[in-house]
Amino acid sequence: MPNTLPEIQEEVWRRLKPSQCVYLATAEAEQPRVRPVTLLNIDQKFWIATSTRSAKARQMRRNPNVEFCLPLDAECGNGYLRIAGLAAPVTDPSTREAIGKEIPFLREFWTGSDDPQFALFRITRVEIEYLRPGELTAFAFLV
């Protein structure tokens, strides 16, 4: 098993697909809220697409601290990736268009990246915690 930081980082990036279901935690006042979402991993940068009217969009605007969890095995507690960061709304039209082209489900929910109901968030100041399945010690690093 790789154990140097560059080897661990490479292993983590291999586990992250361009688009996959993860569990997103946001905060609503003092109450944490967790739900499955599609995390977009484009050029080792993380994005979330949602409706401007969704609870998660509202929560991320009020409190940008978010965290994702990707279980790595069907059995609970058998490895995970946790990704924490700040959710920043993306308003730049060229960025919205470029990322929108990479979103497999964009046209299912919106007319395009310029749809006023389309909200795009970039996750910045990312910290990744990685627990390999079957191990007890997690690795953590900043991206």
For the stretch 67-91, pLDDT in tens is 999 999 867 768 999 999 999 999 9
List the CATH code of the domain at 5-142: 2.30.110.10
Q: Which two tokens stand for residue 41?
A: 């991993």
Q: Which two tokens stand for residue 96?
A: 């919205």
Closest CA to 18 of 37, 44, 36: 44
Entry pTM = 0.92
Domain residue extents for the chain:
5-142
Q: Exposed/middle/buried for 51, CB within 10 Å: 0-12, 13-18, 19+?
A: middle
Instruction: List pLDDT tens digits, range 53-69.
Output: 999 999 999 999 999 99
Q: Which residue has 């507690």 as its token pair? A: 77
